[in-house]
Amino acid sequence: MNDKHSLRKIVKDSLSELTRPLYEDYSYKIATRLFDDPDWKQANVIGITISKRPEVDTYQIIRKAWEQGKQVVVPKCSPKEKKLVFRTLKGFSQLESVFYGLYEPIVEQTAKVEADHIDLLIVPGLAYTRTGYRVGFGGGYYDRYLTAYSGKTLSLAFGNQIVEQFQVEAHDLPVSKIITNDEVIHIK
């Protein structure tokens, strides 16, 4: 499977078949593995997206980070420049619905956080190889952001998001670890 467009459709179709109970169960198992991970335990500032089903549920992860006294930063997209800026999130009330039904931080209520202040960046995606490469949602936002980020990276994925291979391009950067409902895949 080399064509990223076709791969996106196949994985999206596969994820759409997850029943609500399985989605909840797998998201919980992934979160539990994440909370046991040394990178999570050592991180004070966590960069994470606000999930939209069928992505792994990040709301429970954000709540746990707050409970543990961690700072949570979430991305704000700038479509004109196709760039991400991470902003503090202290409550879900600081979110607003933007394009494609995604939730992003309200600029007036949140503060910008530079890449070098983020200890752990949880990178979203649709499909992943066991070598840490990912197919995102097609905007290239994270690919651009990762070029200037030097902290720890990991991704959260359901087992059916792990694929054999796809055509890796020059701008693709791997994550260091993938946590699924079945396993933790260490890359570097």
pLDDT single digits (tens) 97-153: 987 778 999 999 999 999 999 999 999 999 999 999 998 877 788 988 999 899 999
CATH number for the domain harbouring residue 179: 3.40.50.10420
Backbone torsions φ then ψ of 133, nearest 5 degrees: -80, 150
Number of domains into which the chain is organized: 1
Band the pLDDT of 188: cuts 50, 70, 90.
low
Query: Cα 150 to the chain's mean position, in Å?
Result: 16
Closest of 41, 31, 59, 39 to residue 157, by C-alpha: 31
Distance separating alpha carbons of residues 113 and 110, to the nearest angstrom:
9
pLDDT at 20: 92
pLDDT single digits (tens) 81-107: 888 999 999 999 999 998 777 899 999
Domain hosting 29: range is 4-186
Of 28-32, 42-46, 70-74, 101-105, the range with the lowest mean pLDDT is 101-105
- Give mean pLDDT, residues 180-188: 92
